[in-house]
A and B are shown apart, each in its own frame.
Chain A
């Protein structure tokens, strides 16, 4: 009989191999799923993973990779801090929406003023919006011990309603002929999150994402706060003796992830999306959870995982238009990835033994 035996030390080999095995398993089972939907699995997998990078029209898709990866990486970096310490912010989607609303709201308040300070102010407003939205679960948890998972998630639905209300009301384009949605920020030069280098997809959000990867790495490996975060997750009792104040950690982790999610929303609304609209959010806040785990909660891992997940988004869109693969199939594909990841992860901490072994 197969039996699990706890390792003395987590396996370093498996810590690296887990994401790779999970991706491989997902590709195989995803292929089976596509075959079940009546598509040629090899073509579908090639369309998703190969065509956006090296295919015929790759020059068009490659910049998209950065555009899609940036919000995922930004949000996932923030989430990973909390996840490491056992603080579960599940409502990044809501903080993302609020960041977009405050960022765009700031720009629209000054419309049509052109000024260099406007964009930095929008960045500030976006981060602040996400931060404040995340402070609701954080403060409730600190003050009343309320479960942050449920509160942050409930606030996603509240944020979605707020988004609907704003795009139909306060932020609606007065010259939009009554259509819902705000003015297009792409046509408002001071507020436009334009590409830094044209044609690369490299906008300010992408730059920020790269900076945050580095900052998070430094924080976790070189700073006392990062040490406290890791300690709380790995040995809560030891953390208590080391003088970690849980309340401060909760505020920091939720606040940081909220601010980063807000930033992601603000960069999205002022750049690729362009305007506040009812269906502005597309679930980056939830996909970022997969990204955070796929990157093993490590900043560099998250960067790679974010790029991979962006690839499945773009490849999925190509497969949708080219092969008629349903959009939901990609969602299932992404969900499967998280499943396999969690399942294979057992190998990091346990080894499989065959036979009875010594009785415990």
Chain B
């Protein structure tokens, strides 16, 4: 085994890349859950976003168009979830699972013609002096735009929830939908919009996997990233900046594990590949001691008659 082959600068830089899909999906799901809705369909929305983004990027030659299409695709799929849970008042756990199963099927149906194709490259940020700085240049200023976009979304969500009136309403809906309803807020409208935002974010996260991280299309390529994003929200205690922290931690584990595989550690590849999932479980165990942070109406069905 040759540990010296692991370059810390590249490790940190690739950690940020590895973290971006779950960061985007996680911050979207955080908004959904703060509105009191538990959408377990993140995996389905991510993979749908992955193929929508991939297909459009390949056909138009523009990664930007791809990411837009991914957001639209994810949001469109999440609208099905909104329809089920907000209009038909269906169980949120079951509906989320349905979304994931449906999304996995739909994506492999859509992706049939796209196996083995290379997508157009997503541009990197190149700032003349800063990107050439030793050490920090590569880590801070050498990424593609989506990495910064992910961080920006976290900042925007944080500011939205903390400082704006609309954010306050969203939190009120999530904490007590009956009280919010009594105050005259449109509980369903707020929730549908939150669900669609979550869908768009998950779609972007999925497209980041298929367009930048891998970059190609294979069936089921999100491989549980959507579920890790769900765990991330619990890890973050429903706080935006902690989603960023958690995503980088998970990203770090993933990258380190891949580097160890490449370095030829004496542990079989399969056991190293398990590690992100095992660490997710471990983190869930540690974090679940404190349940007080969860939005009080999380997962409950709202019907105005009650």
Which A residues lie at the B interface, using CB under 8 A? 4-6, 88, 90, 136, 140, 144-147, 149-151, 153-158, 161-162, 164-165, 168-169, 286, 289-290, 293, 326-336, 338-339, 342-346, 349-350, 360
Closest to A140 in B: B285
Which B residues lie at the A interface, using CB under 8 A? 40, 80, 83-84, 88-91, 93-95, 97-98, 101-106, 108-109, 112, 219, 223-224, 227-228, 230-231, 234, 268, 270-271, 273-274, 277-278, 280-281, 284-285, 288-289, 291, 303-306
| Min CB gap A310→B, angstroms | 17
Chain B residues near A344 (CB, 8 Å)? 88
> Are B227 and A154 closer than 8 Å at their CB atoms?
yes
> Are A165 and B109 closer than 8 Å at their CB atoms?
no
Given contacts A90-B97, A149-B93, 19 further A-B contacts (CB under 8 A): A145-B288, A146-B285, A147-B231, A150-B281, A154-B278, A155-B281, A290-B98, A327-B108, A331-B101, A332-B109, A335-B101, A335-B103, A336-B102, A338-B102, A342-B84, A343-B84, A344-B88, A345-B90, A350-B89
> Are A360 and B305 closer than 8 Å at their CB atoms?
yes
Beyond A90-B97, A289-B101, whether A161 also contacts B284 by CB under 8 A is no
Closest to B90 in A: A342
> Are B88 and A343 closer than 8 Å at their CB atoms?
yes
| Min CB gap B187→A, angstroms | 13
- Interface class of chain A by DSSP: helix
CA distance A338 to B284 in the complex (A): 29
| Min CB gap B233→A, angstroms | 10
Beyond A6-B303, A338-B101, A342-B88, whether A332 also contacts B234 by CB under 8 A is no
Beyond A88-B93, A157-B223, whether A149 also contacts B40 by CB under 8 A is yes
> Are B88 and A331 closer than 8 Å at their CB atoms?
no
Beyond A158-B274, A332-B105, whether A326 also contacts B284 by CB under 8 A is no
> Are A147 and B284 closer than 8 Å at their CB atoms?
yes
6 contacts between A and B (CB under 8 A): A6-B303, A144-B289, A146-B285, A149-B93, A154-B281, A343-B83
| Min CB gap A38→B, angstroms | 13
Partner of B105, one of A158, A331, A350, A360: A331
Chain B residues near A329 (CB, 8 Å)? 105, 109
Contacts across chains A and B counted by CB atoms under 8 Å: 140
| Min CB gap B138→A, angstroms | 31
CA distance A136 to B144 in the complex (A): 40
Counting chain B CB atoms within 10 Å of each CB, which of A146, A345, A346 scores highest? A146
> Are B303 and A158 closer than 8 Å at their CB atoms?
no
Partner of A326, one of B102, B109, B270: B109
Counting chain A CB atoms within 10 Å of each CB, which of B90, B94, B289, B306 scores highest? B94
| Min CB gap A323→B, angstroms | 15
Partner of A157, one of B97, B219, B224, B284: B224
> Are A4 and B288 closer than 8 Å at their CB atoms?
no
Closest to B101 in A: A335
Beyond A144-B288, A154-B224, A343-B90, whether A331 also contacts B108 by CB under 8 A is yes
> Are A153 and B227 closer than 8 Å at their CB atoms?
yes
Chain A residues near B97 (CB, 8 Å)? 90, 289, 338
CA distance A164 to B277 in the complex (A): 16
> Are A360 and B304 closer than 8 Å at their CB atoms?
yes
> Are A161 and B274 closer than 8 Å at their CB atoms?
yes
CA distance A151 to B103 in the complex (A): 21
Chain A residues near B303 (CB, 8 Å)? 4, 6, 350
| Min CB gap A78→B, angstroms | 16
Closest to B80 in A: A339
Chain B residues near A4 (CB, 8 Å)? 89, 303, 305
CA distance A155 to B91 in the complex (A): 24
CA distance A329 to B284 in the complex (A): 35
CA distance A336 to B103 in the complex (A): 10
| Min CB gap A251→B, angstroms | 17
CA distance A346 to B303 in the complex (A): 12
